Structure 1
Amino acid sequence: MREALFIKKNKDRWLKNQQEPPGSPDDLARSFTQLVDDLAYAKTFYPTSKTTGYLNKQASDMYLSIYQNRKEESGRLSYFWKYELPLVIRKHHKTILFALIVFVTFFLLAFFIAARDHEIANSFFGDNYVQKTMENIADGNPFGIYETGNPVLSWLGIMINNIRVAFLFFISGIFCGIPTMYKLAETGAMVGVFDQLFASKGFGLQFWMVVFVHGTLEITAIILAGAAGFILGKSFLFPGTRKRMEAFRDGARDGVKIMIGILPAFIIAAFFEGLFTRLYNNVSWFTTFLTTASVLFVIWYFIIYPIQLARKDRLIIKEGVKGHA
């Protein structure tokens, strides 16, 4: 069947599903089964077509609708962390990858530029901070800056500041994502300059093992906040086959879910920075364990698990429809 005929034959039903979602469980199950069949057909015969993308989006929305209405024994929060957030993450993996590329690109640029121009560190962190760090390095305690201040007050102050910055990343996405890109690039550059500050003195490896006790979760959350801002801007600029405001509303909803999802990461990262990073001299095995565990968690929860969940999508949905009916 030609694609034009396929669209003509089913367009009214697709539009009805989108504009007037089925109300009863039986209608929902029937509509979803038909939609899955249409999607399978489109993937087989028109794999790169916009029609396939449209059907995939509609099927995903209906899937979420089914699961949002299910009664989960473990409660709404459990469902959010176990299913809803990972599926939103998977849905926007390409945008998150773009945010990661922006961050890493400017991290590397700043790292190598700072190797040639040491004054850059002063412009980023201020003369006093750099001087104190150099003194700590000379004294054989390069990361002594993390040992200062009250642990609890440091935790609260860092947490509040990071959450504030992250929401600026997200909200500024409304301006076509340009301010978000600037802020994300600036943060990547700042980390690159900070890394070079220690690498130039022979503490490059220690930088990763100490700073990333808290930095793994913190930087991951910052990148995700940047991605949420890009999602917000992209949904308005490129609505696809949907109305612009409808696409913008969906993008805003997904962005908010991501922002809610990264709040615990900021809280835990600030807790680690305030209380545990300072222990790198006394119990280095523990800080190394925290860094390793954080890296493994980020890889699993934000990359592997969402992909696994999406691969099981069709089977899970069919079971969900049966249970819902």
Structure 2
Amino acid sequence: MSSSATEPRNTMRSFRFRTEREKGWKELDSLITRAEAAGIASLSYEEAAALASLYRQAMNSLSVARSISMDKALLAYLDALCARAYLVVYAPQESIRGVVVKLFTRGIPQAVRRSSLPLLIGFMTMFMGAVIGYVMFLQNPDWYFSFVSPGLADGRVPGASTEYLRSTLFDHDDRNGGTLGVFASFLFSHNTRIAIFIFALGIFATFPSFVLTFYNGLMLGAFFGLFAQAGLGYELFGWLSIHGVTELSAIAVACAGGAQLGLAVLLPGNVTRREALRRASPDAVKLMILSGLMLIAAALIEGFLRQIIQVTEVRLAIGWGIGAMWLAWIMLAGREEETTS
């Protein structure tokens, strides 16, 4: 049979094939267009069910059209229609905003609760370091120089007068916004480096992370011992609390995130170390994100509020009040999903 006789027959067959099914294709195209513009959630239950059914029919039509060699224009149309329907039905529908909201309302709090043991160990490690640093300082003040760097000490060293130590806690000098902003920026940079270092060290069998966290506790204990010996323990506690509740918690959270990775390498269980590390990574990353957020908050508090607020009781209320809000978010957010799952 000549090609001139075949072409009219193929054209007629394509026309009949299209006429019989075109109504469903147009309906599918309309539903896809709406879903692309406003999301799949904009469709009713009946429309979503129709979309799935029409998508299957369109795929079947595409398969038949390919098998009987329909004209190229029809094949191209069905290819494009089915591709768009696939993206609407199967592609992730969450926007960036939705992903961020989900991270903060469920992802981070649930990751912290799943990491309760390494988190508890991180806090206990810092607390033990603080107790030991305090006791060692009382026994021999020279230990202070081993734990506290000269830059951090800033003249607050054994032998300093009570008046000078008090002046470092209650600074009544006028500070403009620019000076406080620079100070906050410096503190954020410094604290972030510490947290990242602690987190990164965790992969080496977790031990170095806990050592660095313990060292931070030693420094804190020696620092507290210096002021307590001068009769300023309560005032220092308030001075530290306003930002330290958030800042020290951030360091413990970073330690727990590093420990998650280290424990996956050290104790992989019944899977390979690579697989164990892959499974531990999502929670560890969420903990590091939380640590970063807490460090930003701590730097702002330390750079601004602590310099402005000069009343110990107010410092205590702000510091522990903010700590209570962090705890409430971590303990309560995302509970509904855990209950229903």
Pick the TM interval, shorter chain: 0.5 to 0.7
Q: Counterpart amino acid of 1:75? A: G
- Matched pairs, number: 245
Question: Given that residues 111 and 189 in structure 1 are in contact (C-alpha distance below 8 angstroms), is that contact kept between their aligned partners in structure 2?
Answer: yes
**Residues 105 and 156 of structure 1: is their aligned pair in 2 closer, same or farther, counting only changes over 3 Å?**
same
> Tell me, which stretches of 5 or more residues in structure 2 are unaligned?
1-91
Question: Given that residues 215 and 269 in structure 1 are in contact (C-alpha distance below 8 angstroms), is that contact kept between their aligned partners in structure 2?
Answer: yes
Q: How far is 1:147 from its partner?
A: 6.7
Deviation track 1:237-283 (CA, whole Å, cap 9, x = no partner) reads: 111232321111122232111111221211110111111112242x5
More displaced stretch, 288-297 vs 114-123: 288-297
Among 76, 84, 87, the residue aligned to 2:99? 76
Question: Given that residues 172 and 229 in structure 1 are in contact (C-alpha distance below 8 angstroms), is that contact kept between their aligned partners in structure 2?
Answer: yes
| SS of residue in 2 equivalent to 1:75 | helix
Structure 2: distance between partners of 1:311 and 1:224: 24
Q: Counterpart amino acid of 2:124? A: I
Question: Given that residues 279 and 287 in structure 1 are in contact (C-alpha distance below 8 angstroms), is that contact kept between their aligned partners in structure 2?
Answer: no
User: Are residues 1:87 and 2:110 paired?
Assistant: yes
Structure 2: distance between partners of 1:254 and 1:107: 28
More displaced stretch, 131-140 vs 254-263: 131-140
Q: How far is 1:213 from its partner?
A: 0.7
Identity %: 21
Structure 1: distance between partners of 2:338 and 2:327: 20
Q: Give the aligned CA root-mean-square deviation in angstroms.
A: 2.8
Structure 2: distance between partners of 1:73 and 1:229: 27
2:300 maps to what in 1?
271
TM-score (norm. length: structure 1): 0.68
Among 120, 134, 149, the residue aligned to 1:97? 120
Structure 2: distance between partners of 1:147 and 1:211: 19
Among 205, 223, 241, the residue aligned to 2:252? 223
1:182 maps to what in 2?
211
Deviation track 1:267-318 (CA, whole Å, cap 9, x = no partner) reads: 110111111112242x55643432132221233233x326xx4576142x3x
1:33 maps to what in 2?
none
Q: How far is 1:159 from its partner?
A: 0.4
Question: Given that residues 169 and 235 in structure 2 are in contact (C-alpha distance below 8 angstroms), is that contact kept between their aligned partners in structure 1?
Answer: no
Structure 2: distance between partners of 1:131 and 1:252: 42
Question: Given that residues 210 and 280 in structure 1 are in contact (C-alpha distance below 8 angstroms), is that contact kept between their aligned partners in structure 2?
Answer: no
Structure 2: distance between partners of 1:261 and 1:126: 27
2:323 maps to what in 1?
295
**Residues 147 and 214 of structure 1: is their aligned pair in 2 closer, same or farther, counting only changes over 3 Å?**
farther
Structure 1: distance between partners of 2:172 and 2:257: 30
Structure 1: distance between partners of 2:260 and 2:186: 28
2:332 maps to what in 1?
305
| SS of residue in 2 equivalent to 1:111 | helix
User: Are residues 1:249 and 2:264 paired?
Assistant: no
Among 195, 201, 207, the residue aligned to 2:230? 201
Q: How far is 1:84 from its partner?
A: 0.6
Structure 1: distance between partners of 2:172 and 2:214: 25
Structure 2: distance between partners of 1:218 and 1:72: 32
| SS of residue in 2 equivalent to 1:240 | coil
Structure 1: distance between partners of 2:93 and 2:135: 52
Deviation track 1:112-140 (CA, whole Å, cap 9, x = no partner) reads: 11111111222333568364466563244
| SS of residue in 1 equivalent to 2:202 | helix
Structure 2: distance between partners of 1:249 and 1:202: 51
User: Are residues 1:157 and 2:157 paired?
Assistant: no
Q: Counterpart amino acid of 1:238? A: L
Q: How far is 1:235 from its partner?
A: 0.8
Q: Map 1:39-54 to 2 at 5 A.
A: none
User: Are residues 1:212 and 2:241 paired?
Assistant: yes
Structure 2: distance between partners of 1:228 and 1:278: 31
1:14 maps to what in 2?
none
| SS of residue in 2 equivalent to 1:114 | helix
Structure 2: distance between partners of 1:244 and 1:132: 47
Among 73, 91, 113, the residue aligned to 2:136? 113
Q: Counterpart amino acid of 2:332? A: Y
Structure 2: distance between partners of 1:208 and 1:106: 17
Among 140, 143, 147, the residue aligned to 2:169? 143
Q: State the structure with more CA Rg.
A: 2
Q: Structure with the greater relative contact order (CA < 8 A, sep ≥ 6): 1 or 2?
A: 1
**Residues 132 and 111 of structure 1: is their aligned pair in 2 closer, same or farther, counting only changes over 3 Å?**
closer
Q: How far is 1:72 from its partner?
A: 7.7
Structure 1: distance between partners of 2:94 and 2:192: 31
TM-score (norm. length: structure 2): 0.65
